[in-house]
A and B are shown apart, each in its own frame.
Chain A
Amino acid sequence: MYTFEIVRAIAVIVLGATGTWLLLPHRHGRVKPAASNLAGAALSLIALILLATLWRAPSNLLNGVFFYAFGIAALAGGVLTVTSRNPIYSALWFAAVVLATSGLFLLSGAQFLAAGTIIVYAGAIIVTFLFVIMLAQREGRATYDRMARSPGRATLTCFLLFWTLLYALISVRSPHSDAAAEGDMQVRLVRASQILQSKQMVPTKGNASVVVRALSPTNKLPEAEPHASALGQHVAGLGGALYTDHLITVELAGSLLFVALIGALMLATPKPPVRPGSSSQPPV
């Protein structure tokens, strides 16, 4: 059973990689023969069908329906974002991806993250993209929109990553399709405190700090069930986790943004042109 799944996963990767490589546009933007596109589409389709055979029905129906609706919407939106000919449509499909992802966040109980993603990405960044695209590209398409940059290497990298993901998923899930065991496995993957429990770890001198951090109350954010007693814990919990466990990360991210701002200012400042006879040296 297990080896069979691995074989199927390998087939998915190989067929999918070949199909995608055949489907990608030409390296220099030339027209590719229709036969190669057809073969690519067929191979990708077989890979998709094989991938679908690895799928198992969700345990919780209503959650499952919403999960697959949002998940499929996000994937389809992602594909359409890269394949749309018109950059306006690309941006709009990207917005659809963001909305679907926020739906997934909501399903996993991360309300703050969902709202934040919509406000920052869909509400501000993509609107700015649209603004720029609408002003900049009024007619026609440049050649660089129709060519793929090193398609072979890109396909290889992407499918290597995909293989890693698929292998990890197959090896982690229990060989017997038991919903309860699977749920248990997911829980164990998410919650640090339960990993400690299952591994029977006790605080010793070597790992004391690790154990204490995993057990700290602010690190239990995913455990806040939407309908349990934890109502009103999301935002406070997130704030607590960010400013106690991850304080350095937050500060680093802030400093990084600040440095980027200064860099952007440096790049954007118009430099006075160097004229012959002026005392200043031209930049090297």
Chain B
Amino acid sequence: MWELVAILIKIGIVVGISQGAVAYLILVERKIAAWAQDRVGPNRCGPFALLQPLADGAKMLLKEDVIPRYVTKPLYILAPMIAIIAAMIGFAVVPFGPVGPGSPSLFDTTVEFQIAPNVDIGILYVLAIGSLGVYGVILAGWSSNNKYSFLGGLRSSAQIISYEIPLGMSILGMVLISGSLDLNTIINWQDNNVWGIVVQPVGFLIFLISAFAETNRLPFDLPESEQELVGGFHTEYSAMKFGMFFLGEYLHVITVSYLTVVLFLGGWDIPFVLDQTQVGWFIALVKVGVMLAKVSLMIVFIMWVRWTLPRFRYDTLMDLAWKSLIPLALVNLLATAGVVQLWRQSWN
């Protein structure tokens, strides 16, 4: 019974923090954009525009919610829900800090920094949920009954399906090396040995590129490219329905950053400073903080790239996935498998 309550509390905290973080990420993005373009950016609402997210949120909620008469109503309403739900439930298996033996306890209950600890197929679950997110985009595009939206939806479905393949294969190298699909085991392996980026540099690169494509971020934001498609799949959406797509996109960015940190940047690990044998509340909170710092750096990197690279043309986008990334990921996977097999044979 108390376990259930603890899980509900944990879900509440994670949902609350991530939603709040999204609001401020939008501010950060606008500030970084301004900085990159030599502008001032938002500076009117409170000190350093810190109240800007509140104003934006209120605007989203209070605006008139327009549902055009020509849309397919059930799907038009369903699409933003799918977008945000698919982005939210991916967090269930993401570790936010140390998990496993030695976790700190509160009122005789062990506190694990993960909503569903020790899910055996952690990374597969994230991929499965991520692959459902495409429904939000493609249904929004179709149900809007608008050529621009429809083209955006079609582009997006092709793009996301294509980039799912290199994304999955780039992760497999790390899975082979650490011998588990469980995200905590992968972090612990990196703590015992070296960070994933050292043993899987090519995998890291492929993962990063595919993750940009999966989150529809520039330079892969073809589904909503303003110059060609007005607003892409969300042209017909207004008020909070548009806000839900927006939220979903930023939640995806957070999830992807967490995954990158967990898989390739050592999770909560700092070499020679933090390791699994240190336990207790203080250490646990430090580890959560370290992980958060790494994730923030990753998010800033994603926003920085937005103002550095121009958008792809559609055929070059597809060429990149099918002619470069997938063969590269296959070669990387084969090489990793071979090396892992040889290593195990010679050491055991």
The chain A residues found within 8 Å of chain B, CB to CB, are 88, 92, 95, 111-112, 114-116, 118-119, 122-124, 127-128, 130-131, 134-135, 231-235
Interface of B is mostly: helix
- Does B245 sit at the interface, judged by CB under 8 A? no
10 contacts between A and B (CB under 8 A): A92-B75, A112-B121, A115-B127, A119-B131, A119-B164, A127-B134, A127-B157, A130-B142, A232-B120, A235-B180
Contact of A119 among B75, B128, B135, B154 (CB under 8 A): B128
Tell me how far the C-beta of B18 lies from the nearest C-beta in chain A, rounded to whole angstroms: 22
Q: From B138, which residue of chain A is reached at the shortest CB distance?
A: A130
Instruction: Contact check, B161 vs A115: say whether CB atoms are below 8 A apart.
Output: no
Closest Cβ–Cβ distance, residue A218 to chain B (whole Å): 17
A119–B167 Cα gap in the complex (Å)?
A: 13
Contact between B182 and A232, CB atoms less than 8 A apart = yes
Q: Is the CB of B131 within 8 A of A123?
A: yes
- Given contacts A122-B131, A123-B134, A124-B131, whether A115 and B121 have CB atoms under 8 Å apart is yes
Minimum CB distance partner of A124 in chain B: B161
Interface size class of B (residues with CB under 8 A): 20 to 34
A92 to B134, CA, bound (A): 13
- CB-contact partner of A131 in B119, B129, B158, under 8 A: B158
Across-interface contacts of B160 in A (CB, < 8 A): 127
The reply to whether B131 and A231 form a contact with Cβ atoms under 8 Å apart is: no
Are A123 and B132 touching (Cβ within 8 A)? yes
Are the CB atoms of A118 and B128 closer together than 8 Å? yes
Chain A residues near B142 (CB-CB < 8 A): 88, 130, 134
B150 on interface, CB distance cutoff 8 Å: yes
Does B124 have its Cβ within 8 Å of any Cβ on chain A? yes
A231: B residues at CB distance < 8 A: 118, 120
Residues of B within 8 A of A92 (CB): 75, 139
What residues of chain B lie closer than 8 Å to A233, measured between beta carbons?
A: 120
CB-based contact B118/A95 at 8 Å: no
Complex Cα–Cα for A124 and B164 (A)? 9
The 8 Å CB contact of B161, one of A112, A114, A127, is A127
- Among B128, B153, B157, residue most surrounded by chain A Cβ atoms (within 10 Å): B128
- Tell which of A95, A111, A119, A128 has the most Cβ of chain B within 10 Å: A119
Partner of A127 from B120, B121, B130, B135 at Cβ < 8 Å: B135
Bound form: Cα–Cα A232–B120 in Å: 6
B231 CB, min distance to chain A CBs, angstroms: 19
A118-B132, A131-B138 known; A111+B161 contact, CB < 8 A: no
Is B127 in contact with A127, judged by CB distance below 8 angstroms?
A: no
Q: Are A234 and B120 in contact (CB under 8 A)?
A: yes
- Bound-state Cα–Cα, A118 to B121, Å: 13
Q: Nearest-CB distance from A37 to chain B (Å)?
A: 25
CB within 8 Å of A: which of B146-175?
A: 150, 153-154, 157-158, 160-161, 164, 168
- From residue A199, how far is it (CB to closest CB) to chain B in Å? 33
Kindly identify which residue among A115, A127, A134 contacts B128, using a CB–CB cutoff of 8 Å.
A115
B333: Cβ under 8 A from any A Cβ: no
Residues from chain B with Cβ under 8 Å of A135 in the complex:
154
Q: Given A112-B121, A115-B124, A234-B120, 14 more contacts at CB 8 Å?
A: A88-B142, A115-B121, A118-B128, A118-B132, A119-B128, A119-B168, A123-B132, A124-B164, A127-B135, A130-B142, A131-B138, A131-B154, A134-B142, A232-B180
> Which residues of B in the span 77-126 have a Cβ within 8 Å of any Cβ on A?
118-121, 124-125
Does B181 touch A at the CB level, under 8 Å? yes
Q: Check A118–B118 contact: CB distance below 8 A.
A: no
Q: Which residue of A lies closest to B185 (CB)?
A: A232
Return chain A residues, CB-CB under 8 Å to B138.
127, 130-131, 134
Complex-state Cα separation, A130 to B150, whole angstroms:
12
In the complex, the answer to whether B182 meets A119 with C-beta atoms within 8 Å is: no
- Say yes or no: A119 contacts B121, CB within 8 Å: no
On whether the beta carbons of B127 and A111 are closer than 8 Å, the reply is no
Contact residues in B for A116 (Cβ distance below 8 Å)? 124
A95 touches B135 (CB 8 A): yes
Scoring A115, A130, A231, A235 by chain B CB atoms within 10 A of each residue's CB, the highest score goes to A115
Whether A118 pairs with B182 at a CB distance below 8 angstroms is no
Chain A residues closer than 8 Å to B182, beta-carbon distance: 232
A12 to B180, CA, bound (A): 48
* Chain A minimum-CB-distance residue to B74: A89
